[in-house]
Structure 1
């Protein structure tokens, strides 16, 4: 009986610990046609596959069935390292203004993909997750103006991320 009590207490604390921060708000609306195309990853809190990424580019293509064909390429280890390519598929969540997706690298798992910042010109974006474990600052250009970059980092910090974990990605000229 005592074991059951400890187990239920541990589960309660674990679940409460996972819900300490509110969900991160997405942008209200994303024009998918404008969002499609290549985005340079400027900085990120990386997943395990991209911890040593250089020249990282995420490209999107709207498929006829409404899914998002994604191609993620980068050089591993340094600017001239071997080219790695991943092709996950994005699934836009209904009634999300196209700002919330499920990103599927392997079936049947769909990782959360939230567009939490997107400028009016569709030149800079932030992709985040409610777990605050990964984040991506992306741009249509290889570099972002310093003032803009500082504003994007401030947004990430305000959303509850530890900005000391951001890894900045080098791109070849």
Structure 2
């Protein structure tokens, strides 16, 4: 059983901007991507614009970008977002852990197959990474499959 408890407080404006994908569980829509980022922007209609981008295999590889939208369906649960990259099909985007300075985040979904470690910088301190992996394990995620995502140096 996965513990999908999300953060209780979220300043959505502080969450906006670019996040670097430090690690992820394997998934088909990010297969072989490196240098992956997720950029969030507030839209005029109150929803969020989500731009996921990365390079296929190498930093000289094909640049792939997907633009979607996100919303917070229940203001009582601000850490539970819904994200859509295809028409009106929304997936859970659960902010499981978020530091007070909005420098790193642990994000999951409705299934234990999706997990991401995000950072505001292309590299994350090893002790912070290890702590987030331990938190994911404590929540029931199988972190043995985590892929560390290659990022360009700052």
TM-score range, shorter chain: over 0.9
**Matching residue within 4, 9, 12 for 1:32:** 12
Unaligned stretches of 5+ residues in structure 2: none
Deviation for aligned residue 1:47 = 2.3
Given candidates 84, 100, 119, the residue that maps to 2:64 is 84
- Structure 1 partner of 2:96: 116
Normalized against structure 1, the TM-score is what? 0.85
Matches within 5 A, 1:42-53: 42-53=22-33
Rg larger in structure: 1
SS in 2 for 1:157: helix
Runs of 4+ residues over 3 Å off in structure 1: none
| Cα pair 1:23 1:130 within 8 Å, conserved | no
Higher relative contact order (CA 8 A, sep 6+): 2
Q: 5+ unaligned residues in a row in structure 1: which ranges? A: 1-20
Tell me if structure 1 keeps the 8 A contact 2:17–2:40: yes
Contact 1:79 / 1:170 at 8 angstroms: preserved in 2? Answer: no
1:115–1:127: 8 Å Cα contact kept in structure 2?
yes
Q: Is the 8 A contact 2:47 2:70 kept in 1?
A: yes
CA distance in 1, matches of 2:48, 2:64: 20
Secondary structure of 2:141 counterpart? coil
Taking the TM superposition and a 5 Å limit, the aligned residue runs for 1:1-173 are 21=1, 23-173=3-153
Secondary structure of the corresponding residue to residue 144 of structure 2:
helix
How many residue pairs align between the two structures? Answer: 153
**Structure 1 or 2: larger strand share?**
2
Q: Which has the higher helix share?
A: 1
Q: Secondary structure at the match of 1:103?
A: strand
* Separation in structure 2 between the aligned mates of residue 44 and residue 22 of structure 1, nearest angstrom: 16
Task: Assess if the C-alpha contact under 8 Å between 1:71 and 1:88 holds in 2.
Answer: yes
Of residues 115-124 and 130-139 in structure 1, the stretch that sits farther from structure 2 once superposed is: 130-139
Is the 8 Å Cα contact of residues 18 and 40 (structure 2) preserved in structure 1?
Answer: yes
